[in-house]
Amino acid sequence: MVGIGGAAESTDMVLNIGPQHPSTHGVLRLKLVLDGERIVRAEPVIGYMHRGAEKLFEARDYRQIIMLANRHDWLSAFSNELGVVLAVERMLGMEVPERAVWLRTLLAELNRVLNHLMFLGSYPLELGGITPIFYAFTEREELQHVMEEVSGGRMHYMFNRVGGLKEDLPAGWTARARTAVADVRSRMDRFDDLVLGNDIFRGRTRGVGVLSPRAVHAYGVSGPIGRASGVDFDLRRDEPYLAYGELGDVLKVVTREEGDCLARFECLLEQTHNALDLAEACLDRLADLPPGPVNQRLPKVLKAPEGHTYAWTENPLGINGYYLVSKGEKTPYRLKLRSASYNNIQALTELLPGTLVADMVAILGSMFFVVGDIDK
């Protein structure tokens, strides 16, 4: 209800944020109940971008579903593809060539940096700081060049295949990738100094939107948002896949205890530094590997044996999982997607009540979500 006249002083007001609003990454609607300037209740209203991908999976064969899978989080396309092919390979009992394993790890970490750079630039923009977004896109372009060169795709790479990767690397690509990683790393202190060193940014984010570890566990929050609340969990370390088991001396799981907007940004930034370290370690390992194949020969019609499996990966935004059920046909009987943003955004119902409307955008932006990852 919206209060009218003198009754407005004692009547809660319902305020719709969205479904089209500059503070959201896509089309999300927040239904807020306000008492003056303070939020009493908050309800995320989702579904405005729903594509029905989980049903479409059932009508595509195992080669075609990769195209559908890489689009729900459009900032993490390579990582999205990866989970699907890992699930199918597990059903088939297929071993992937060693070079493909290390290349997948390298490209997954480069994709992680690309994802995080977008939020490292866009979050300050939502709080009134325009300069970081230009720096973020400068660094993104340098990495995008090498990702586009190797895959042919700019956003939706379509480079993973069941059994490995689409094709081998272009001549001289590793040297160009190494240069890009070094160049980006040399300029990352811009975000440390320009954003974290800004008193206004720290004033808008410190102590704002504190998410408790209890809420993280209750809502299944994961990724840098969960770790910013002190929940020390990362699949790359705790259930290693690809080559992460051999990168334990380089991999650093970044955590904070505060659980506020500032802690979430700090986790994201420090994780970006570590992803660049991991990418460099993968390049070093690839240089030591002998030439060899990057994929397996597949039958003309690929069928997964009857059964079911679950494959999950540590995507840039958190845990991404695929539950695959096969009846022995060339298409999945069922493929359920567990996306990071869908679980993470649920916590807003507990995070926003009690805060001021002025802090709502700061909290919303610090959740680092992609709406396609919610409306899967």
pLDDT at 48: 83
pLDDT at 242: 96
pLDDT at 4: 45
Please state which of the ranges 37-51, 195-209, 273-287, 307-321 shows the lowest mean pLDDT: 37-51
pLDDT at 17: 83
Is residue 59 within 8 Å of 48, Cβ to Cβ? Answer: no
pLDDT at 6: 45
Mean pLDDT, residues 270-296 taken together:
96
Mean pLDDT, residues 308-331 taken together:
96
User: For the segment 111-123, what is each residue's pLDDT rounded down to a tens digit?
Assistant: 999 999 999 999 9
Distance set, CA 154 to CA 64, 109, 145, 148, 166 (Å): 19, 16, 8, 5, 15
pLDDT at 51: 77
| pLDDT-derived band at 26, boundaries 50, 70, 90 | low
H/E run at residue 315:
strand 307-315
Distance set, CA 162 to CA 28, 82, 95, 97, 107 (Å): 34, 9, 10, 12, 16
Kindly state the tokens that stand for 131.
């300069």
pLDDT at 251 over 90: yes
pLDDT at 111: 97
User: For the segment 190-214, what is each residue's pLDDT rounded down to a tens digit?
Assistant: 899 999 989 999 999 999 999 999 9
337-351 per-residue burial string, b: 16 or more CB within 10 A, e: under 16: bbbbbbbbbbbbeeb
User: For the segment 142-170, what is each residue's pLDDT rounded down to a tens digit?
Assistant: 999 999 999 999 889 999 999 999 999 99
pLDDT at 21: 53
Q: In what order do the strands lie in the sheet with 334-338?
A: 307-315, 318-326, 334-338
pLDDT at 20 over 80: no
The amino acid at 137: F
CA distance 316 to 312: 13
CA distance 358 to 343: 24
